[in-house]
Structure 1
């Protein structure tokens, strides 16, 4: 079997809400996301460790392509300067298609303009597997739902 190697997809969305708040949410309070984006994320549970710490494991219940899915992710890296959190998927539905699946959410703050960048690094199990563009679209939708929640409160 051919080794397909690591691929990367990046998608950005501009937000008007506070970038620091956004970073804090993904680092320390991802369990609040299901209240802000219930159509995309139904539940987020801490499986081991502490919220916001490297090595902690979080279980996400989410909807992908109309189906309920699960992802168990370990926080691999946190960068307070770059306002980024990296999640490595260690169990769940995504690993039925991908050997490696890593999400990084990163917030650039420049005064009023804040840019949220989602990066997905992945390795497909085979050539027939699609690039995870729909997964990135969900991340952008969740980002917009979080922003709407913050702007309305």
Structure 2
């Protein structure tokens, strides 16, 4: 099967830097922001926020994904995760997801990119996973917009 690509962009009003930092350094906090989607995120190997750290996600309906962080680009505000074990490996030979934040003043653009190779032609495209990622992004945005601002003196 050939490598396929799926891209979706979401405009957010919350701080793009905060969004990137959450994905890069504190993905374990996402379960408290969106507990109906992410039940846990555990560090399996390495150090949070560094290339090569391995995390285990527990998400909707007791599904599990073990990802290794393939790349982090601070300038472009992107993080690339490679699924190395878990439920997605039953459907896809390879599955990379990249989350990238473009900062544009008040509004920011979050781009999710999936690059994947299906195990066979009967495997569906990951549309539901993309919808999940978009909805997770909206949950994170809502959380950040509702969070009290730090008092700066």
Q: Please, what TM-score do these two structures have when normalized by structure 2?
A: 0.95
- Give the drift of 1:5: 1.3
Partners in 2 of 1:93 and 1:50 — Cα distance? 24
Consecutive unaligned residues of structure 1, counting only runs of 5 or more, are none
1:23 maps to 2:20: yes
1:130 is displaced (CA, Å) by 0.2
TM-superposition CA deviations, 1:40-74 (whole Å, max 9, x none): 111000000000000110000011xxx32000000
- Corresponding residue of 1:59: 56
Distance 2:34 2:95 in 1: 22
TM-score (normalised: structure 1) = 0.95
Task: List aligned pairs for 1:5-16, cutoff 5 A.
Answer: 5-16=2-13
SS in structure 1 of the partner of residue 62 of structure 2: strand
Runs of 5+ unmatched residues, structure 2: 148-153
Runs of 4+ in 1 over 4 A off after TM superposition: none
Tell me if 1:44 matches 2:41.
yes
**Aligned counterpart, 1:126:** 120
1:93 aligns with 2:87: yes
Superposition RMSD on alpha carbons, in Å?
Answer: 0.5
Q: C-alpha displacement at 1:96, in angstroms?
A: 0.2
Q: Give the number of aligned pairs.
A: 147
* Structure 1 residue 142 corresponds to structure 2 residue 142: no
Q: Which residue of 2 aligns with 1:68?
A: 62
CA distance in 2, matches of 1:12, 1:138: 13
